């Protein structure tokens, strides 16, 4: 299976969680074979104040992760799809073609770390519900991931991210009427329309690109883009992201 990993933050059961997930497999999930979800969960020894990985324990946890993966490969039992770190615990999640050797994988891996207590288990998950509903980013979480990638790129080019500049957005709608209603709302909020986009062979939806002077700093652009996602949804549309230019001090 293809590997393309994303790391992002979310809320789980009222606590902050760090989620690492292989999003690359989402386009090629098995549709016929029955799959089991297997997990290993254990409390970390030295979590930081937020219940996440600390620098003092990071190397050891990476060693545990590598050991589990090595044993899973040795038994040829399935695929590592993600991990969750939250509230002082670390959980590794695998999808297994069968689960009768999962106990052997777990004991062979965790037996090398007697100082760590752990729990493990498996269950049938033919629809990959745990992957889709727990690990894979929601549209909002995915937008934040993309926001931060753009912010990181701007910052690497010497941009402080705190200076307002024209930020261009795109959105698409089912009908020209819904698009017009949306444009009326955003123009009242200080946005200016740059271009109307006609439907074509690639998409039956009509679009609009629009811009406003804003700051692309992480929290500012997250707040703005999440608002625009909500607004476009109200008008049967879909937000399609943003772009801007580098501004140096």
User: Which residue is listed with tokens 């700093």?
Assistant: 217
At residue 211, the pLDDT reads 98
192-229: pLDDT as tens digits: 999 999 988 888 999 999 999 999 999 999 999 999 99
Where a domain ends, among 118, 135, 152?
135
Residues 162, 105 within the same domain: no
Does some domain include residue 151? yes
What is the chain's alpha carbon radius of gyration, rounded to the nearest angstrom?
A: 22
Q: Are 161 and 215 in contact (CB under 8 A)?
A: yes
Structure token pair of residue 230 = 């909500």
CATH of the domain at 153: 3.30.70.970
Where a domain ends, among 102, 135, 168?
135
Does some domain include residue 248? no
Residues 94, 196 within the same domain: no
Cβ neighbours around 146 below 10 Å, total? 14
Where a domain ends, among 135, 162, 195?
135
User: Which residue is listed with tokens 């969680």?
Assistant: 17
Residues 15, 109 within the same domain: yes
Structure token pair of residue 179 = 């698009």
Global pTM reads 0.82
User: Which residue is listed with tokens 């207590």?
Assistant: 117
Give the chain's domain count. Answer: 2
User: Of 227, 248, 249, whose CA–CA distance to 239 is shortest?
Assistant: 227
Alpha-carbon torsion 222, 226, 227, 228, what sign?
A: positive
Does some domain include residue 249? no
Angle at CA of residue 8, ends 26 and 234, nearest 5°:
75
pLDDT tens for each residue of the chain, 249 residues long? 678 999 999 999 989 999 999 999 877 776 556 789 999 999 999 999 999 999 999 999 999 999 999 999 999 988 999 999 999 999 999 999 888 999 999 999 999 999 999 999 999 998 899 999 999 999 899 999 999 999 999 999 999 999 999 999 999 999 999 999 999 999 999 999 999 999 888 889 999 999 999 999 999 999 999 999 999 999 999 999 999 999 987
């Amino acid at each position: 299976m293809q590997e393309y990993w994303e790391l992002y933050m979310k809320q789980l059961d009222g606590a902050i969680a760090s989620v690492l997930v292989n999003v690359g497999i989402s386009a090629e999930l098995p549709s016929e074979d029955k799959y089991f979800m297997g997990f290993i969960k254990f409390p970390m020894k030295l979590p930081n104040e937020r219940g996440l990985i600390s620098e003092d324990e990071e190397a050891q946890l990476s060693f545990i992760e590598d050991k589990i993966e090595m044993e899973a490969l040795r038994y040829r039992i399935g695929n590592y799809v993600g991990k969750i770190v939250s509230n002082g615990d670390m959980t590794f999640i695998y999808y297994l073609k069968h689960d009768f050797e999962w106990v052997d994988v777990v004991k062979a891996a965790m037996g090398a770390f007697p100082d760590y207590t752990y729990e493990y288990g498996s269950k049938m998950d033919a629809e990959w519900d745990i992957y889709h509903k727990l690990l894979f980013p929601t549209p909002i979480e995915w937008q934040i991931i993309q926001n931060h990638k753009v912010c990181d790129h701007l910052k690497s080019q010497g941009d402080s991210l705190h200076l307002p500049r024209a930020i261009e957005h795109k959105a698409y709608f089912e009908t020209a009427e819904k698009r017009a209603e949306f444009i009326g709302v955003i123009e009242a909020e200080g946005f200016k329309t740059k271009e109307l986009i006609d439907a074509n062979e690639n998409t039956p939806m009509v679009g609009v690109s629009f811009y406003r002077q804003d700051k692309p700093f992480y929290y500012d652009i997250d707040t703005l883009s999440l608002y625009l996602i909500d607004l476009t949804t109200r008008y049967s549309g879909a937000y399609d992201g943003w772009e801007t230019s580098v501004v140096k001090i």
